[in-house]
Structure 1
């Protein structure tokens, strides 16, 4: 999905592109853009919920201006791993570790985009509030492309089939030799994004 955020004051506004299940024990994988005042960097949260368990957010301060041009945001999800990318650079990896009792996303999900008021936490920990005189708030989405498996109670096992490109063993782990590539990407990321921790 190519996304371009609205220029100007967006403090307190969250724009999101995500996948989520429809039940209370929520499965969700999302990119959340945390708005800011003009001239301040916009942050993004790469977020994973599994079986209703969250608190897995990773917040990154973007070194580029996501309001200046479209950027490519991608999620690859299969029974083994979730990978999240910005412009082809991996920014988040979440492995299936159910063998050690870590919940993992396994439910059918729909794809959504939304914009909403989260000024109680989104900008400066909630200290910076929305200035409603700058409304309306918007974002532009284009080049939406999805490869997926239609899920039903009789087909769920089929969705894990290697007949789908994203389930090929190439996407189960880091490829042979790719730890070096992965670390190189992480080193690149240090200049690409500034990581923030809670």
Structure 2
């Protein structure tokens, strides 16, 4: 299908949620895809049994027949998850993911790196968390990072998706190097955190494993807990395939990769096309954040009267947000929750205010 035909199909009157978004966003995404799709074409994937193992809910971790993917189920008895076989200090972590369909309020699907099982009080973490959905509303998700146990200094950003993530697979990726962190959806960078001296230990720096989980987060995930999981729609299934990790495995006790071979791998990682936010990618990221980011901790003056050191404050962008860090249609922070032992402060939101 040629690009023009594809674009015309996107403009047909439908009830699909992304039609409510700006035409300019769609144009920039199409332009971006048409020009830079080589960056993610050469990713080396790892069969599930070769690089991962069940984390919990073993009966709900269902491997694909070809061995290249897995389905995670949530039912009224258990959620499920998997973990990488190795830990890595810096790397590229990526998977094509399809989220559960139909009514999914209260469900959290997470794709993240962490070392909380090894460094319980000083853990690092990088998150994609998808926050469930109710009929007629766009899917919402958040990215977050923690360094050295800084759970009281959560760095959440929240967004809407410009597509329905339950209809087809999309690639979600986390690049983590000694100098920066980039979150990608397909080939669109949606967030970059650049390391600086002022961040200190808040910048994740210890070896981490890759995790994926699905679990019941009824008390906070969708509209701040207003809508919980309805198990008459169970099982809820999230699919993961084409899993990829580029990096060098590391001993968490030594905390540094060892040997010349690891140095070569990390140099190769830094040289990858996706390791740099080019001017074209930066434009796409800016468009995404202008149109679809609705909360940023950098503008949340209630939590952070002085923005954390990695924040780059844009005066024109600041005008769009309330003192809570949310866009000017409501929201607050008033709830605490736990995900398998990790405490954080999510953003409470009211869907009806959008």
TM range (shorter): 0.7 to 0.9
Q: Which structure carries more helix by proportion?
A: 2
1:140 corresponding residue in structure 2 = 239
Conserved 8 A contact 1:34-1:123:
yes
Conserved 8 A contact 1:4-1:70:
yes
1:18 to 94, 97, 112: 112
Structure number with greater Rg is 2
Normalised by the length of structure 2, the TM-score is 0.50
CA deviations over 1:32-90 (Å, ceiling 9, x no partner): 11101133211111111111114101111112100000001111111111111001100
2:148 to 43, 51, 55: 51
1:166 and 2:166 aligned: no
Q: In 1, Cα distance between the equivalents of 2:206 and 2:289?
A: 33
1:157 deviates by 4.6
Q: In 2, Cα distance between the equivalents of 1:129 and 1:114?
A: 18
2:227 to 128, 137, 146: 128
1:169 deviates by 9.3
Task: Kindly report which structure 2 residues correspond to 1:80-91, keeping only aligned pairs within 5 A, or say none.
Answer: 80-91=179-190
Task: Kindly report which structure 2 residues correspond to 1:1-198, keeping only aligned pairs within 5 A, or say none.
Answer: 1-21=95-115, 22=117, 23-24=119-120, 25-54=122-151, 55-97=154-196, 99-102=197-200, 103-152=202-251, 153-154=253-254, 156-158=256-258, 161=263, 163-164=265-266, 165-168=268-271, 174=277, 178=278, 180-190=279-289, 194-197=292-295, 198=326
For residue 186 of structure 1, give the secondary structure of its aligned residue in structure 2: helix
1:183 deviates by 3.9
1:131 deviates by 1.3
Conserved 8 A contact 1:19-1:112:
yes
Q: In 1, Cα distance between the equivalents of 2:96 and 2:158?
A: 20
Q: Check 1:173–1:2 CA distance in 2 against 1; reply closer, same or farther (3 A cut).
A: closer
For residue 192 of structure 2, give the secondary structure of its aligned residue in structure 1: strand
Q: In 1, Cα distance between the equivalents of 2:150 and 2:255?
A: 25
Q: In 1, Cα distance between the equivalents of 2:264 and 2:271?
A: 5
Aligned length: 192
Q: In 2, Cα distance between the equivalents of 1:130 and 1:155?
A: 39
Conserved 8 A contact 2:108-2:132:
yes
For residue 245 of structure 2, give the secondary structure of its aligned residue in structure 1: coil
Conserved 8 A contact 1:4-1:140:
yes
Normalised by the length of structure 1, the TM-score is 0.86
CA RMSD of aligned residues (A): 2.4
CA deviations over 1:107-128 (Å, ceiling 9, x no partner): 1111111011111111111111
CA deviations over 1:161-182 (Å, ceiling 9, x no partner): 35422234978765xxx3x434
